[in-house]
Amino acid sequence: MSLSADESLALAPTLSLKEGRKARVTANPGDPMNCSLLALDLDGTVLDGRRHLLAGIAQSVASAQERGVQVVLCSGRMVCSVEPFWRELGLDSPIIGYNGAYVRQPATGGVIFYEPVPLDLTLEVVRLAKTRRLHLNTYMDDELWVAERNDYVRRYETSYGVQAKAVGDLERAVSQPSTKLLLVVEPADIDRIAQELAERYRGRLFVTQSEDIHVELLNPRANKGAALEAVAKKLGLKAGDVVAVGDGINDIEMIRWAGAGVAVAHAKPQLQAEADLVLAPDPQALTTFLDSLRPQRIDSRPATQR
């Protein structure tokens, strides 16, 4: 059940300001927070370990929409993998998928933002993956393409509700830009490989991490912050009207861009370091926070002045 404003205020300890950093938000923790557009990450933020919506999230999102807060899902997933949750939450907003490389309005099929990896770089990474014997996911027209089916692919299909297309030699099969590229690595190697690839492709590709085994490569103009800015602009909103909530390294850019960036309690340390607010480790902390949102401006300053 969604909480009333008074009940939300009574649970103020579920939200804490980041120490040592001046928040951009003028409200005190637990007070009603101004917000016209709410951006929510999916996995690790509003989904539990079984990849189901957390208890109370649907009610809190519905209540926020009734108060006039617009809600957008912002995920590293394929757009088609986000759509079931978009429908379950009763949204009519665009979906930000592929860590910001592709934004589509499911209701109309209209594309709001699309920045794929150029074909030459797509093929370069395909060759790199083959040389290093790393599994690679490529994404064509919201469809997953892989060289062959294996245990990882089957787990990915089950986890994200999609069907992969095995095409054999990716270098021969791929003839168009990939929306993003995803390399599967060992958890112990992910930071090292991500840093190595970021240096190798500096200025040519944006490198981020999603799951503990996923290194993702995108067009340098694509990230969740850029995509969220495009959605906000289409709605006539500025950064100061937006609150973004996430848990992972791939959420950093949208946390930075939004008027208020919020990290859940178990968020990666890198994200917590960027967030204005960090939720306490309380099962109701996120729903309590959502119940505090009101559709007014947080900070009208341009993002470059913050």
Residues 253 and 212 both lie in one domain: no
In this structure, the answer to whether residues 147 and 188 fall within a common structural domain is yes
8 Å CB contact between 251 and 242: no
What Rg, from alpha-carbon coordinates, does the chain have?
Answer: 19
Q: Is the pLDDT of residue 163 over 60?
A: yes
* Banded pLDDT at 27 (limits 50, 70, 90): very low
Q: Is the pLDDT of residue 2 over 80?
A: no
Is residue 210 located within the same domain as residue 231?
no
* Chain segment 40-62, per-residue pLDDT in tens: 999 999 999 999 999 999 999 99
Contact 247, 44 (CB under 8 A): yes
Judged against a pLDDT cut of 90, whether residue 16 lies above it is answered with: no
Same domain, 13 and 63: yes
Whether 213 and 274 have beta carbons less than 8 Å apart is answered as: no
Residue 306 has a pLDDT of 44
Residue 29 has pLDDT above 60, yes or no: no
In sequence order, the β-bridge partners of residue 145 are 138, 165
**Which candidate, 248, 188, 285, 278, places its Cα nearest to that of 44?**
248
- Gap between the Cα atoms of 255 and 275, Å rounded: 6
**Whether residues 29 and 109 fall in one domain:** yes
Query: What CATH number should be reported for the domain holding residue 92?
Result: 3.40.50.1000
Whole-number Å distance between alpha carbons of 200 and 125? 11
Task: Return the CATH number at 166.
Answer: 3.30.1240.10
> Of 218, 238, 261, which one is at a domain's C-terminal end?
218
Is there a single domain that holds both residue 126 and residue 194? yes
Domain that holds residue 162: 119-218
Q: What is the mean pLDDT of the chain?
A: 89
Q: How confident is the model at residue 88 (pLDDT cuts 50, 70, 90)?
A: very high
Among 218, 246, 271, the domain boundary falls at: 218
Which of the four pLDDT bands, split at 50, 70 and 90, describes residue 1? very low
Model pLDDT for residues 118-149, shown as the tens digit of each residue: 999 999 999 999 999 999 999 999 999 999 99
Q: What is the pLDDT of residue 31?
A: 62
List the single range of 3-17, 144-158, 245-259 with lowest mean pLDDT. 3-17
Q: Which of 252, 194, 221 is nearest to 116 (CA)?
A: 221
Question: Is 274 in the same domain as 191?
Answer: no
- Tell me: pLDDT of 26 over 50: no
Give Cβ neighbours of residue 32 (< 8 Å, ≥ 6 apart): 5, 8, 9, 292, 293, 294
Q: In the prediction, which pLDDT does 211 show?
A: 87
**Residue 33: pLDDT band by 50, 70, 90 thresholds?**
confident
Which segment of 11-25, 137-151, 188-202, 250-264 scores lowest on mean pLDDT? 11-25
Residue 245: pLDDT above 70?
yes
- Number of domains the chain is built from: 2
SS3 letters for 28-70? Answer: CCCCCEECCEEEECCECCCECCCCCECCCHHHHHHHHHHCCCE
Whether residues 93 and 144 share a domain: the answer is: no
30 pLDDT tier (thresholds 50, 70, 90) = low
Q: Are 88 and 51 in contact (CB under 8 A)?
A: no
Q: Same domain, yes or no, for 208 and 246?
A: no
pLDDT at position 36 over 60: yes
Answer yes or no: do 9 and 97 share one domain: yes
Q: Same structural domain for residues 269 and 249?
A: yes
CB count within 10 Å of CB 188 equals 8
Residue where a domain stops, chosen among 198, 218, 238: 218
Tell which wins on pLDDT, 228 or 25.
228
Q: What pLDDT, on a 0 to 100 scale, did the predictor assign at position 305?
A: 44
Give the pLDDT mean for 75-103: 98
What CA–CA distance (Å, rounded) separates 68 from 296? 9
Same domain, 143 and 66: no
Strand-strand pairing, 214-218 and 260-263 = unpaired
Q: What is the pLDDT, as a whole number, of residue 34?
A: 86
Mean pLDDT to the nearest integer, 278-301: 83
Close Cβ partners of 156 (under 8 Å, ≥ 6 residues apart): 137, 144, 162, 164
